[in-house]
Amino acid sequence: MSSTFVDSAADFDVRDYLRMDMMPHFLCPGCGHGIALRALLWAMHELGIAKDQLAVVSGIGCAGRLSAYIDANTFHVTHGRPLAYATGLALARPDLHVVVITGDGDCLAIGGNHLIHACRRNLKLTCLMLNNEIYGMTGGQVSPTTSETMLTSTTPLGNSEPSFDACALAAAAGAGFVGREVTRHVPRLKELIKAGLAHPGFAFVEVLSDCTEIFGRKNDLGSSPEMMLRQKSDIRPSAYRDSVDTPFRANELPTGILAQTNRPEYGAAYRRAAAAQRASAAAQAGSANAKEDS
């Protein structure tokens, strides 16, 4: 066993949570998605979530492929729909921890309708959106989060559409927990995901992840270290959390926990209402029987 593999973080060894027989993984050198995956598994470890109790539902894309590497109950579903699959799974199995891994295209373009309704519904789910500003899997086309002027394989003139602020969108749609972090700050990312996993309702976590091989190359952003430094210069700390009021602000995004409210969780509320209805029906039947007896 090579010592370079061993994690510096005390008792956490990422290999305990990975399907090691799936290695080597398919991510490109410098891709931020692996860092996000590690942060998720680390958060899970610190919260003591058992692998058997974890269900990961992922969409289609580079981000979507991550589920196959996690040693848990993993479901790689259709493009844009992981939140909808997860809604059924979490409603049917409230005993499981259901985590969705999705990309910016998966979550905000084809899956955008499911995102806003998942936020509104507030079912207990953790949605991890890995935002690399591009459709990585299909070769680098423009995505709803591509910053203005950036080059992609379908914006040869530079992107002229404004980009989505996914956190502002999630907060506006009513998500109980909204946060954003960069892959540059792994411990902070881990803490944010932990807070999301612990949140009793729908938690939306956006991870700003770098696509070095396609987005970086196309836009001359250097390799992984340079792109990491770019994260530092472009992203403002959460002290400036004004993004809800000004949703379309390319490249200037607050990080940290951006919204947290305690709305009733959908699944529990539904089951409570159903139980109350059953109880009152039983009481009614009981009094009807009593009448018949008398």
Ligand X SMILES: Cc1ncc(C[n+]2csc(CCOP(=O)(O)OP(=O)(O)O)c2C)c(N)n1
Enumerate binding residues for another protein (CB under 8 A).
Answer: 19, 22, 51-53, 55, 57, 67-68, 71-78, 81, 84-93, 95-96, 113-114, 117, 267, 270, 273-274, 277-278, 281
The Cα–Cα gap between 209 and 197 comes to: 20
Tell how far CA 60 is from the center of its chain: 13
Identify residues 39-78 at the interface with ligand X (CB under 6 A).
60-63
Q: With binding defined as CB under 6 A, does residue 129 bind ligand X?
A: no
Question: What, of ligand X, another protein, none, does residue 81 touch, CB below 5 to 8 Å by kind?
Answer: another protein
**Exposure of 202 in the CB half-sphere (CA atoms within 13 A):** 26
Question: What, of ligand X, another protein, none, does residue 134 touch, CB below 5 to 8 Å by kind?
Answer: ligand X
In the structure encoding, which two tokens stand for residue 30, read together?
Answer: 């410098």
Our CB check for another protein shows the closer of 11 and 95 to be 95
* Residue of this chain nearest to ligand X (CB atom): 103
Judge whether 45 and 194 are in contact, CB under 8 Å: no
Task: Give residues with Cβ within 8 angstroms of 222, minimum separation 6.
Answer: 216, 230
> Which residues pair with residue 180 across a beta bridge?
206, 256
Q: With binding defined as CB under 6 A, does residue 140 bind ligand X?
A: no
Our CB check for ligand X shows the closer of 136 and 196 to be 136
The Cα–Cα gap between 87 and 17 comes to: 24
Our CB check for ligand X shows the closer of 65 and 121 to be 65
Question: What, of ligand X, another protein, none, does residue 36 touch, CB below 5 to 8 Å by kind?
Answer: none
Smallest distance, ligand X to C-beta of residue 23, A:
19
In the structure encoding, which two tokens stand for residue 211, read together?
Answer: 């696509």
Question: What, of ligand X, another protein, none, does residue 213 touch, CB below 5 to 8 Å by kind?
Answer: none
Its sign, for the CA torsion 44, 50, 85, 34, is positive
Question: What, of another protein, ligand X, none, does residue 99 touch, CB below 5 to 8 Å by kind?
Answer: none
φ/ψ of residue 53, rounded to 5: -95, 0
Q: Tell me the helix, strand and coil percentages in the chain, rounded to 5.
A: 45, 15, 40
Our CB check for another protein shows the closer of 95 and 220 to be 95
Residues that bind ligand X (CB under 6 A): 60-63, 79, 103-106, 130, 132, 134-138, 143
